[in-house]
Amino acid sequence: MADERSEYLRLVEEIRRHDYAYYVQAEPTITDRQYDALYRKLLDFEQAHPDWIVDDSPTRKVGGEPLEGFESVRHEVPMLSLDNTYSREEVIAFIKKVKRLLPDSEPLFTVEPKVDGVAVSVRYEDGHFVRATTRGDGTMGDDITQNLRTLRSIPLRLHRNPGPVLEVRGEVFMTRKGFIHMNEKRVKAGDAPFANARNATAGSLKQLDSRLVSERPLDVIFYGFGAMDINEQPETNVRFMELLRECGLPAPEHFWVCDSVEAIADALSELDQLRKTMPYETDGAVVKLDSMALREEIGYTSKAPRWAMAYKFEAEQGITRLHAITVQVGRTGLLTPVAELEPIPLAGSTVSRATLHNEDDMRRKDVRIGDLVIIEKAGEVIPAVVRVETSERTGKEKEFSFPGECPECRTTTVRETHEISGNTVHRCPNRECPAQVRGRLIHWCSRGGMDIEGGGEVLSRQLVESGLVRTPADLYRLTQDQVAGLERMGSRSARNFLDGVEASKSRDLWRLIFSLGIPHVGTSTAKRLAREFYSIDAIASASAEQLEAVEDIGGIMAAAINSWFEDPPNRELIEELRDLGLRLADPVPEAGEQGERILEGMSIVLTGTLPNLKRKQAADLIEKHGGKAASSVSSKTAFVVAGDEAGSKLEKANKLGIPVLSEEEFLNKIGESI
């Protein structure tokens, strides 16, 4: 037994070493297969001897039970920010100022990459990972311990014990590759891709379910410290970075030690070149005083240290020829000018189109066909034309005039002032325009809308072009043969799509409201409307005043909602949807009780892991609606709400013939949404 136990501990050590080699040093020492075999063995050990499991076992990196919310934690040492600049002159001024403040020293500076991610603080006590927090407001942050312990590059135990307390600060990010792979997977699964790696990282760290976090390709680099009570206090930044590495913590791969303004300028230029080849996005450089003693001497302002400064690189730009300007028609008929470019590589992808936003913007920038244009991709997916290189003009460039007719359906367009932005916009007034019909369909099927898988750009185009679908109502009349008969459509994907269409009939009211595509009504307004009015009919007959009484709904939006429902084709659509069996209302509240007692007197049992709600939240909802959350199933149980890995309670419910609801069905029943 003792032997086996030490074999287990040895295995923990071995896997930890491989994790470090793979995730921190990026130099794997064994094949994936060998690694999987070791990991499997570890899991077997832990299954056989749950009492052996050490807190920092590699298996503890897969995430645990979802949280109900993040706790607020006070930072022992505040997490400050940095002064930022885009100007090299300001960097030079900063160096000179530091030198002035330290007349008796010859200070050294370090230059390191500024990682474009999300700031975190991770606390080790006696070499053990104990807590991780976000920056928050600098004084108080969120406790994201459960999420950060799933990061492969964060050791749960340091390679050596540096002393009682070491709080390291750094940036969580996604590598370019990791980000692209994750997005590809999301698109395949029918999920919306993230706009950029930074948003994806921030979104991931806010997840309450750490099991989801463990699947995101998150990485970390540490560059600073908070509370620090260790055996050897580092005297310089260079020594501190060494110390990080000795402890097995990822630190900046590249850094420069500089003794002059010239050396710093060179380092900035080198880094600007190098960053294109680095595996993650860097949006600048951080220049820091190397000596810790000198840092203390010059100190801090209320917001930032006086000993460091961030220099931001300009967003990645490219220069290319604009060959043509085309016009895209959106679902509301809005025409958007698009620059068709000579393809150029930019920030990791090839760019051949960029948005020109609208006519006013185009005029302001004086964009002409044949111009050399500067395009910019600031981490976002859609690049934009920022300016024209007018000095390169030959005189042959042509001004673009907005077409008087819609490029899709040839209807005469109208020129108007956009109600909200005030920009001049062009609109195709033909609601039957194929581009609009298609756009409405894509919007209807989208993830934020009726969430019908497979109803994206490609299928929507086919459905409209084949004449099978004109309005969303037509979707509910499609037959299996019709869909399977479309090009590149197998009978299985046709079936899946139609199952999705059928399932969408009973979606929550807010999804339907959003999917209708009423101008200015996004998901949060749709949710508000559903909560206040409970049915499409009530919204349709609400006056502008009643609508405006709803939080966040102003005059423009109320008028847009009213006029949408006054439009005969829209009324017709609603009637058709009703006849086709779509749910046009959420459960109506009973008089006097605000509809919260729909579960009055019922005993309900929760079992398994629900996809979104935590056990306590589900129980609260049951109580809120008048029911009682019971712990065991009996003939008196009204129904069971079952999630993943539901066990004996589910079996018993089935045996007794008690209804079993999914989380979604349960929420529908009580008229709540997540």
| Closer residue to ligand IVH in complex, CB, 299/404 | 299
CB count in 10 Å sphere of residue 669: 15
DSSP 3-state assignment of 297? helix
Q: Which stretch binds ligand IVH (CB under 6 A): 107-115, 201-209, 324-332, 663-671?
A: 107-115
Helix (H) or strand (E) holding 638: strand 637-642
- Is residue 658 within 8 A of residue 630, CB to CB? The reply is no
Smallest separation, CB 81 to ligand IVH (Å): 4
Report if residue 119 touches ligand IVH, rule: CB under 6 A: yes
Smallest separation, CB 17 to ligand IVH (Å): 27
Instruction: Give me the residues paired with residue 385 across strands.
Output: 375
Smallest separation, CB 29 to ligand IVH (Å): 28
- Is residue 325 within 8 A of residue 370, CB to CB? The reply is no
Provide the mask over 47-86, with x wherever binding to ligand IVH is found by CB under 6 A and - wherever it is not: ---------------------------------xxx-x--
| Closer residue to ligand IVH in complex, CB, 11/172 | 172
CA angle, corner 104, sides to 98 and 108, nearest 5?
50
CA angle, corner 124, sides to 120 and 128, nearest 5?
130
- Is residue 496 within 8 A of residue 483, CB to CB? The reply is no
CB proximity list for 297: less than 8 A, separation 6 or greater = 101, 102
Smallest separation, CB 587 to ligand IVH (Å): 46
Q: Which stretch binds ligand IVH (CB under 6 A): 31-39, 190-198, 303-311, 499-507?
A: 303-311
Measured CA to CA in angstroms, residue 10 lies from 17, 274, 337, 388, 627 at distances of 11, 40, 63, 63, 52
Q: Which stretch binds ligand IVH (CB under 6 A): 27-35, 108-116, 328-336, 491-499?
A: 108-116
Which residues 156-195 are close enough to bind ligand IVH by CB under 6 A? 171
| Closer residue to ligand IVH in complex, CB, 271/442 | 271
Interface with ligand IVH (CB under 6 A), residue total 15
| Closer residue to ligand IVH in complex, CB, 254/614 | 254
Smallest separation, CB 312 to ligand IVH (Å): 8
The β-bridge relationship of strands 424-427 and 637-642 is unpaired
Between CA 321 and CA 339 the distance in angstroms is 10
Among 18, 75, 114, 216, binds ligand IVH (CB under 6 A): 114
| Closer residue to ligand IVH in complex, CB, 80/261 | 80
| Closer residue to ligand IVH in complex, CB, 302/401 | 302
Which residue is it, tokens 């006097």? 592
Measured CA to CA in angstroms, residue 118 lies from 86, 133, 227, 341 at distances of 20, 11, 19, 34
| Closer residue to ligand IVH in complex, CB, 224/454 | 224
The amino acid present at 376, given as its one-letter code, is E
The catalytic residues are 114
Smallest separation, CB 504 to ligand IVH (Å): 42
Among 98, 244, 310, 530, binds ligand IVH (CB under 6 A): 310
Between CA 458 and CA 583 the distance in angstroms is 27
Between CA 516 and CA 440 the distance in angstroms is 8
Smallest separation, CB 148 to ligand IVH (Å): 15
| Closer residue to ligand IVH in complex, CB, 84/673 | 84
Smallest separation, CB 383 to ligand IVH (Å): 24
Report if residue 98 touches ligand IVH, rule: CB under 6 A: no
Provide the mask over 236-275, with x wherever binding to ligand IVH is found by CB under 6 A and - wherever it is not: ----------------------------------------
| Closer residue to ligand IVH in complex, CB, 142/408 | 142
CB count in 10 Å sphere of residue 506: 12
Q: φ, ψ for residue 436 (rounded to 5)?
A: -70, -40
The secondary structure of residue 662, as a DSSP letter, is -
Among 141, 248, 305, 337, binds ligand IVH (CB under 6 A): 305
Burial class (CB in 10 A: 0-12, 13-18, 19+), 224: buried
Which residue is it, tokens 């330290």? 102
Between CA 125 and CA 152 the distance in angstroms is 19
Which residues 197-226 are close enough to bind ligand IVH by CB under 6 A? 223-224
- Is residue 504 within 8 A of residue 452, CB to CB? The reply is yes
Report if residue 453 touches ligand IVH, rule: CB under 6 A: no
Among 91, 174, 308, 483, binds ligand IVH (CB under 6 A): 308
Q: Which stretch binds ligand IVH (CB under 6 A): 111-119, 153-161, 473-481, 582-590?
A: 111-119
Binding site for ligand IVH (CB under 6 A): 80-82, 84, 112, 114-115, 119, 171, 223-224, 286, 305, 308, 310
